[in-house]
Amino acid sequence: MNTADTKPDLAQVIDAPEPTPVLQVNNLDVSYYTDSGRAKALDDLSFTLNAGEKLGIVGESGSGKSTLALAMMRMIKAPGRIDGGQVRVDDTNLTALDDETMRKARLMKIAYIPQGAMNSLNPVMRIGAQMVDAVISHVEKEPKSAIVERCMLALESVDLPRSAFRMFPHELSGGMKQRVCIAIGILLQPQVIIADEPTSALDVVTQRQVMETIDRVREKINAAVILIGHDMGLMAQFVDRVAVMYAGRLVEVSTVREMFTAPKHPYSKALINCLPNLENKGVFQGIPGLAPSLLRLPGGCAFHPRCAQVMDICRSRRPETTVEPNGRTVICHLIKQEAEIGQPS
């Protein structure tokens, strides 16, 4: 056998098309209009996600993480409002759909696994009835027996017994309820799954089981997953890329390895430095100051009052996004200057 015949054509490798993102968020703006003024929760936010990819979104409370999830699902309620931008799943612009079409798109194109499974299930309905209702509201003319079997298979895919179909939520543990929420989320095999702090109320053993369940079902249906949370250790073990959020902007987006070995934005560095390590046992390091109020953001870079590397330009000019050749993005004047003069950061 001629081994040369088995080698790929170099021209074909070079000309191979980039994978088309299954999710595109373009210039998304969300504001809350209150009696005290306008609070801009998402500020010109953009990112993409490929099928099967896992993106972690981290940041302090109030940075806009959950608002991003709700905006992508078109579930922002008054006094909140989507002011502009697009959320596209494949070729569908979710922000342009009417209410009924968007209702159909939930679960079928994009699904949301809520933070509090304890409060997300109807306590007076059996698990199976809630799952069947979800399917019936989206799929027309499917036989009842096929719907029940679909629900049973979804329960089995998250390591729950078929007997859970007949149970009430109070008969399940916290981890089992969270798995039910995952099962409901994957009933119609959506292309994008948003998990909003899905393990926040669970013990560490159950946390790992739930994350392994999400990863397994993601691989099975080849869905893109967005994991929102505070636990940097969980992010390091689970996601492919990490997006750091501050005051409604994604200040840095990079691979998980780059983020934990060489973070570039001062806020990313501060978050990483907050993590405990064996070299400094018993020493806890925080970030000075407090996250700013979205009603009264400081001028220039929103992080500059807390930044250890602040420059004069940071106080007066809003930083722009720097995109590196490997796709890493950073919003910081310091990185912009280093890129312009060609110095390594």
In terms of domains, do 270 and 207 share one? no
Residue-wise pLDDT tens digits, 262-306: 999 999 999 888 877 767 666 677 788 888 889 989 999 999 999
Do 40 and 155 belong to one domain?
Answer: yes
**Closest C-alpha to 55, from 295, 271, 245, 225:** 225
Distance CA 205, CA 210 (A): 9
pLDDT band at 13; cut points 50, 70, 90: very low
193-216 average pLDDT score: 86
Asked whether residue 254 carries a pLDDT value surpassing 80, the answer given is yes
- Given the structure tokens 């807390």, which residue do they identify? 306
Instruction: Give residue for tokens 């078929």.
Output: 162
Q: Are residues 227 and 118 in the same domain?
A: yes
> What is the Cα–Cα distance from 112 to 195, expressed in whole angstroms?
6
In a domain, residue 5? The reply is no
d(CA 270, CA 249): 16
* In a domain? residue 12: no
Strands 241-246 and 249-255 come out as antiparallel
Lowest mean pLDDT among 5-9, 210-214, 229-233: 5-9
Domain annotation covers residue 14: no
- What the block records as the tokens of 188 is 């119609």
Q: What is the pLDDT of residues 48-94, one digit of tens each?
A: 999 999 999 999 888 999 999 999 999 999 999 999 999 999 889 99
Same domain, 267 and 231: no
Among 23-27, 43-47, 171-175, 337-341, the minimum mean pLDDT is found in 337-341
For range 21-38, the mean pLDDT: 94
pLDDT of residue 344: 52
Query: Is 287:268 a contact under the CB 8 Å cutoff?
Result: no
Question: Residues 238, 285: one domain?
Answer: no
- 13-27, 218-232, 326-340: least confidently modelled range: 13-27
- Which is more confident, 274 or 178? 178
| CATH number of the domain to which 205 belongs | 3.40.50.300
Q: How many CB atoms lie within 10 A of CB 261?
A: 10
Q: Does residue 279 sit in the same domain as residue 310? A: yes
Domain co-membership, 270 together with 229: no
DSSP 208: H
pLDDT, position 141: 84
Q: How far apart are CA 206 and CA 20, in angstroms?
A: 35
When divided into structural domains, the chain yields a total of 2
DSSP 224-267: EEEEE-S-HHHHHHH-SEEEEEETTEEEEEEEHHHHHHS--SHH
- The answer to whether the CB of 41 falls within 8 A of the CB of 248 is yes
Q: What's the pLDDT band for 342 if we cut at 50, 70, 90?
A: low
For residues 139 and 126, the model is more confident at 126
Over range 303-328, report the average pLDDT: 91
Q: Domain range spanning residue 112?
A: 23-245
* Within-domain flag for 301: yes
Choose the final residue of a domain: 245, 278, 309.
245
